[in-house]
Structure 1
Amino acid sequence: MGGSVDRTQSRINDVIRRVHEALIAAETCDELEAAVCRAFAESEPYVFAWIGAHDPETDRVVPSATAGRGAAYLDEITISLDDPAEASGPTASALRTGTAQIMQRIRDDPDYGPWREQALSYGFESSAAIPLVADERTDGVLNLYSERVDAFAETERSLLAELGATIGTAMSGLRARQELESQKRRYKRLTERISDAYYAVDDEWTITYWNDQMAARTGRPAAEVVGETLWTAFPAILGSEAEEQYRTAMETNQPQSFEMYVEDPFDYWVEIDVHPDDDGLSVFSREITERKRREAELTRAERRLDAIVHNTSESIYIKSRDGEYLFINEVGAEVFGSTPEAVVGTFDDEHFDAESVEGIADDDRHVIETETAETWERVRYVDGRKHVFIDNKFPYRDGSGEVIGLVGVSREITDRKAYEQRLQEQRDGLDLLNKVVRHDIRNNLQVVLGYGELLTEHVDVDGRGHLRTILKNAESAVELTHTAADLAEVMVNPDRDPVRISLDDVIRTQITEIRETFDGVDVAVDGSLPTTAVLADEMLSSVFRNLLKNAVQHNDKATPEVRVSATVETDTVTVRVADNGPGVPEDLRPTIFGKGEKGLDSQGTGVGLYLVRTLVEAYGGDVWIEERPPADASTATDDGEGAVFAVELPTA
């Protein structure tokens, strides 16, 4: 009897030794489970061993390692925990109770019913289900099979239970170590993949980790700094905001986030997140220099926009969809005789009269519903006072693009409209005066001239001189009506619309009229007039009528002589009107084309040359007085008398 016990103890010790060797050699749980199964399967009286664990998805015990003969046995059976018969078997009971379950006689044990036939077919006569327990938790079951009945003695049962706890503890340790290594690998991959610069320090401020991004930013590799204290490796941190934030995180165990500028030699802005843990601090930082630059630019832009909004002469406001003022600048509030603070939160019916409010609501509704910008000229009344606005309204959108109101930019043009009304009234009056001058006064003067001519044969010699004076002044008045009418036309319609005009036809017509109007004048063309068309309008005739008339009327010679010439350039034609009169003094030349300016001893109004300049410049041309007549001009006197007026016009 004693020898049998000794042999059993020796055999079990040998198995325990092999299991312990497996526990030492195994790197993973899979290696340990396989080694344990082999140690039992290769030792008498065991012929088959397997380890299984509960699969919560299928609610079955699933094998994870096997050894010995009988692996096919597991393909033929199931151990389901939701089946009452299978759940009462040895393996499920060991999982459930955490105690070893011994089946000394498989043939007779009623709890082995579901698997008896298969077990006996493989020669299994007895079995043991040993729970693998660690920290009062069963992680799996070691199942052993023997070909002998009563193979598991009492001593062996106790040793197997202890061995199951040892294996369970070893497996739990391996799983924990594997999980730790896995976490370390994931942690390393994470810290190397993140774009942030990252480092860690322990609770003694020793640097324990330093990723590649941190090395690139500082120019110091991990091998150089890991193991040093933070303050030794980077003494510049001492006394900085970073030191204060780090120490706060370490002392309070609370995360800290802040931004700081890192001075030379780095010269950049960083955003830093400090996360404390049981081992020390994890510090993540990212460079935000570009973001800070954009923020600074945005701040400057906001300041400029604020200056524009609050210093413009236009009303600027924002209203919600229901018409509440969300913002208004000082100019807009002044229209209501109020301040921006007082207007915000109010509605239009608190400021405008009822009719104005209805019109404003229609305009606002149109902009919001059509989601389009619109511009209107609108009349509004505030406290009974009329205001005229140019209203520009735009949809106001939120970040998602939804229209949540409108933006208004209004320019008050009340004074301008009043001025335009007065100007229009003046133009209407000037137009009426023009008609009076053209028709009534000129017709009356023509009557005076007609009857004056009839009186020539009815007055004596002394009276004829007075009659000639009357006729001469009447003729001058008729000419003055032409100039006044032309000037009125220009003032009533100041905007010219140049078209193609035949220059030579206009000049020849005016030369003919001058010859017919003034007796005893010598008006001729030097050379030939160009047939080139110029850009002008029907008022071009007034330009040359006034220049030719000026050359005759202001001439002090017995026989006034006038010469007209023209030269053609690539884009312009220059016409010169030269006379043999007294000329224009040099000090008068800069102002001779001004309104109301007269030459020496002039009896005219001074508006003729002003009209010439106004028309020529409207055509895009120019007019000036030449320094002196050309040397070979037949109209020039020996002492250089005479004047030359030059008109430059664009060709068509």
Structure 2
Amino acid sequence: MRLATSAYETVFDEAPDGLVIIDPDTERIRECNRRVCELVDREREALLDRDVTALIDEVRGPEPDPVPALDRDDVATRTWLIRTGSDEIVPFDVCVSPISIDGDDHVLARLTGATDETDRSQDDDLDCELKSRAVDAAPIGITISDPHQADNPMIYINEMFEEITGYSAAGAIGRNCRFLQGPETRAEPVDEMREAIAAERPVTVELKNYRSDGIEFWNRVTIAPIRDDEGTVTNYVGFQEDVTERVESRQALELADHLLETVPSGVFRTEPTPDGTFEYANPALASLLGVDSVDQLHEYRVADFYANPEVRADLVETLRDTDVPSVKREVTLEPLDGESIDVVITASLSTDDSGAEHVHKAVQDITERKRYEQRLKDQRDDLDVLNQMLRHDIRNDLQLVTASADFLHDHVDDAGREYLATIRESAGHAVELTQTARDMSDVMLSTDENLARVDLRRTLESELERVRSEYAAAAVTVEGTIPRTTVVADDMLHSVFRNLLTNAVQHNDREVPSVVVAATERDESVVVRVADDGPGVSDEQKDEIFGKGTKGGDSAGTGLGLYLVETLVDTYGGSVRVEDNDPRGAVFVVELPTGE
């Protein structure tokens, strides 16, 4: 059989799919085109008038019949496994439909090269399944979003995304991923992602996100567009990686680098060789050693800057011979641009992964501190000399003046006795002044290391006896009993009570001054009250009376006595204050600790 017209014949022969015309009654091939011959690897003459079932090894489909009975407009699809001319079994997708030629009913079978398509379909199905499993089990978070929906929501998340964020699929799908952001999320990476999505380009940022439990984590996010065959963006894929440990380690290193570069102390690393080279040094060390830059330091050996290089060698040996993590030494260095300097070097020894040893050193310039300490020592020495003069020479001379005035009392007239009284009074005041000066000197020369447990009762009773002897006209009494206890103080405690008792008598305007002393023991302290019936202390003076050089009322004193009292009591860890007495006068209240 031949087709009626050459036009149809040409279309039939040149069709890209294999075409076979079959007689439905005999199932014989009436016509076929060139493509069928190519697909089954047979000549056209070998196919014409041949039973089609003889070529088909197997039929796959809903019906086993290769040429089913069909009504008009019906179409049937199945897969024919055809034995080719090379004796291979090759599958073809076949579409069978009825046609009419010259009024006779026939069947048209259209064969497509199912060899590639079928294998590809099976491979694609397997590949798709493997890819789906791989994405679900990937060690990083993966999301897919749909930009065609409002707010570009996520339509897929994998298991790692749930693990990283703490959000389940039910809590995340349908939402834009910005819900992971929080108060500490910086705007810059967020803007960068937004701009990349708008430009339909990939982007990678690191930003702080928040888990479902509110815990912060650093998220390395990569977003990339997914395009179809025409280049249109259909979705966005996102990759999330928890890089908290890496970011925090990097930040710690950056902070350490910043501190090393800006710390005012010199820091460097060297190898433990006799001379030593600068493996690392910060700018502060370069400045300390008088060079223009860190690079210039590499032109020198570490030992070049030591006044005594043996000190450096000894320090390294000490590090090797002991188990201590670090060693500290005071050494003298010789900078290039000036005089030698005193420094404290703290050194530690470490071993890197290759087994090489390194010495890490921190250098603090203590030149000014050493000079200050020397000035203090010189001043203390001078003060000690002055103290000796006050204790012996000046005090002895004043006592000689007082004794001479007493001797002259019976050798002068009444007018002369008035002058002698002035001499005795002034000499007595000078003696008190030397005593206060001695006490101040002792305070300035003392340290906290001198504190100990001092017998309160013995010290206070000794000063009570002294003031009663010196001021016989005054009534100095004790209310109750002085506790038998010790307080934290030193051998200057007597000066506290002497100044308070003397102050209470000397500043009293009564003909017979009255002073009452009481002591009360508490849990961890003792409170001593020295009350007088003098003019009292005004409210304005209460806050200033313990200041250096502050005098009370018409006092002719130096104003140092009460300042000395507060200084000593503060050194002991106690307190002192002044209150009003009833009906008149002042009460000085001293609280001293009884603990260690």
Change (3 A) 1:382 1:358: farther
1:311 Cα offset (Å): 2.9
Please, which of 538, 548, 563 is the counterpart of residue 610 of structure 1? Answer: 563
Bigger shift: residues 378-387 or 410-419 = 378-387
Q: Counterpart in 2 of 1:394?
A: 348
The residue aligned with 1:648 is 591
Match of residue 596 from structure 1: 549
Contact 1:321 1:368 in 2 (8 A): no
* Corresponding position: 1:334 with 2:277: no
Q: What TM-score, normalized to structure 2?
A: 0.61
In the alignment, the residues of structure 1 paired with residue 558 and residue 157 of structure 2 have an alpha-carbon distance, to the nearest angstrom, of 94
Q: 1:571 to 1:439 in 2, by over 3 A?
A: same
- The answer on whether the counterparts of 2:546 and 2:566 sit within 8 Å (CA) in structure 1 is yes
8 Å CA contact 2:508, 2:534 repeated in 1: yes
- Could you tell me which residue of structure 2 aligns to residue 505 of structure 1? 458
**C-alpha distance in structure 1 between counterparts of 2:402 and 2:499, whole Å:** 22
Give the AA of the match of 1:328.
A
Give the conservation status (yes or no) of the 8 Å contact 1:315–1:328: yes
Residue 352 in structure 1 maps to residue 295 in structure 2:
no
Instruction: Decide which of 309, 315, 328 is 1:363's aligned counterpart.
Output: 315
Distance in 2, Cα, partners of 1:462 & 1:574? 49
2:582 aligns to what?
630
Aligned to 2:256: 305
Q: 1:467 to 1:404 in 2, by over 3 A?
A: same
Confirm or deny that 1:456 pairs with 2:399.
no
Task: Indicate the RMSD between aligned Cα atoms, in angstroms.
Answer: 4.8
The secondary structure found in structure 2 opposite 1:514 is helix
Cα distance in 1 for partners of 2:564, 2:385 equals 19
Equivalent residue letter for 2:575: D
Moved more, 615-624 or 573-582: 573-582
Corresponding residue SS for 1:447: helix
Q: Structure 1 244/504 Cα, relative in aligned 2: closer, same or farther at 3 Å?
A: closer
Distance in 1 (CA, whole Å) between partners of 2:161 and 2:567 is 77
Aligned to 1:538: 491
What is aligned with 2:528?
575
Aligned residue identity for 1:644:
V
Cα distance change of structure 1 residues 549 and 415 upon mapping to structure 2, 3 Å threshold: same
1:289 to 213, 217, 241: 241
Post-superposition CA distance 1:72-106 (Å, at most 9, x none): xxxxxxxxxxxxxxxxxxxxxxxxxxxxxxxxxxx
Q: Does 1:385 align with 2:365?
A: no
**1:211, 1:488 → 2: CA distance?**
80
Deviation by residue 1:338-361 (Cα, 9 ceiling, x = unmatched): 3444345333358626x3444334
What displacement does 1:547 show? 0.8
Kept after mapping to 1: 8 A contact 2:290/2:335: no
Matches within 5 A, 1:139-538: 195=139, 259=204, 269-270=220-221, 287-291=239-243, 293-322=244-273, 323-348=276-301, 352=305, 355-364=307-316, 366-367=318-319, 372-383=325-336, 385-398=339-352, 400=353, 402-495=355-448, 497-538=450-491
Q: Work out the CA distance in 1 between the residues paired with 2:370 and 2:268.
A: 23
- Corresponding residue of 2:152: none
Q: Whole-Å Cα distance in 1 between the matches of residues 197 and 289 of structure 2? A: 53
Conserved in 2, the CA contact under 8 Å of 1:511 and 1:523?
A: yes
The Cα of 1:304 is off from its aligned counterpart by 3.1
Deviation at residue 508 of structure 1 after TM alignment:
1.6
How far did 1:647 drift?
0.9
503-512 or 334-343, which moves further after superposition?
A: 334-343
Q: CA 1:496/1:456 → structure 2, altered by over 3 Å: closer, same or farther? A: farther
For 2:166, the equivalent position in structure 1 comes to: none
Shift of 1:437: 0.9
Letter in 2 for 1:650: P
Shift of 1:513: 0.6
Map 1:67-146 to 2 at 5 A.
none
Kindly state the Cα deviation for residue 416 of structure 1 after the two structures are TM-superposed: 0.9
TM-score between both structures, scaled by the size of structure 1: 0.56
Q: CA deviation at 1:535?
A: 2.2
Cα shift readout 1:466-503 (whole Å, capped 9, x = no counterpart): 22222222222222222221111110114254333332
The 1:439/1:270 distance shift into structure 2, 3 A limit, reads: same
Relative to structure 1, is the Cα distance of residues 343 and 351 closer, same or farther in structure 2, using a 3 angstrom cutoff?
farther
Aligned in 2, Cα 1:259/1:453: closer, same or farther, shift over 3 Å?
same
Contact 1:330 1:339 in 2 (8 A): no
Q: Secondary structure at the match of 1:443?
A: helix
- Matched residue type, 2:588: F
Q: Matches of 1:528 and 1:604 in 2, distance apart?
A: 32
1:560/1:552 Cα in 2 relative to 1: closer, same or farther (>3 Å)?
Answer: same
Superposed displacement of residue 616, structure 1: 0.8
Instruction: State the AA in 2 paired with 1:509.
Output: S
Match of 1:109 in 2: none
Pairwise CA distance, 1:549: 0.9
CA distance in 1, matches of 2:251, 2:207: 23
CA distance in 1, matches of 2:222, 2:504: 85
Structure with a larger share of its residues in helix: 1
SS of 1:509's equivalent in the other structure is: helix
Instruction: Measure, in 1, the Cα distance between the counterparts of 2:399 and 2:157.
Output: 108
Q: Which amino acid aligns with 1:643?
A: A
Aligned to 1:547: 500
Distance 2:258 2:466 in 1: 64
Residue deviations 1:539-579, cap 9 Å, x none?
Answer: 11110111111112222332222221223333222212122
CA, structure 1 residues 341+508, in 2 after alignment: closer, same or farther (shift >3 Å)? closer
Q: Equivalents in 1 of 2:523, 2:529: separation in Å? A: 17
% identical equivalent positions: 34
Mapped contact 1:378–1:389 kept (Cα < 8 A): yes
Q: Is the 8 A contact 2:350 2:357 kept in 1?
A: yes
Change (3 A) 1:215 1:442: closer
- Structure 1 residues 186 and 556, CA, compared in 2 at 3 Å: closer, same or farther? closer
Q: CA deviation at 1:187?
A: 9.1
Residue 391 of structure 1 aligns with an amino acid whose one-letter code is: I
Residue matched to 2:233: none
Deviation digits for residues 359-378 of structure 1, max 9, x if unmatched?
Answer: 33443454467684211111
Contact 2:138–2:160 at 8 Å: present in 1 too?
Answer: no
Aligned residue identity for 1:390:
V
Partner-residue secondary structure (3-state), 2:543: helix
Structure 2 contact 291–297 (Cα < 8 Å) conserved: no
Task: Give the Cα separation in 2 of the matches to 1:386 and 1:215.
Answer: 62
Once residues 315 and 296 of structure 1 are traced to their aligned partners in structure 2, the CA distance between those partners, rounded to angstroms, is 28
CA distance in 2, matches of 1:338, 1:643: 66
Q: Which has the larger radius of gyration?
A: 1
CA distance in 2, matches of 1:289, 1:600: 79
Tell me the distance in 1 between the aligned counterparts of 2:412 and 2:252: 89
Q: Helix, strand or coil: the match of 1:463?
A: helix
Aligned to 1:56: none
Residues 297-346 of structure 1: CA deviation (Å, up to 9, x unaligned): 34443443344223322112222445222332222111123344434533
8 A Cα contact 2:515 2:533, kept in partner: yes
Partner secondary structure for residue 382 of structure 1: coil
Segments of structure 1 that go 5 or more residues without pairing to the other structure are 1-22, 25-164, 168-176, 200-209, 221-235, 246-257, 275-284, 637-641
What is the rounded CA distance, in whole Å, between the counterparts of 1:237 and 1:428 in structure 2?
75
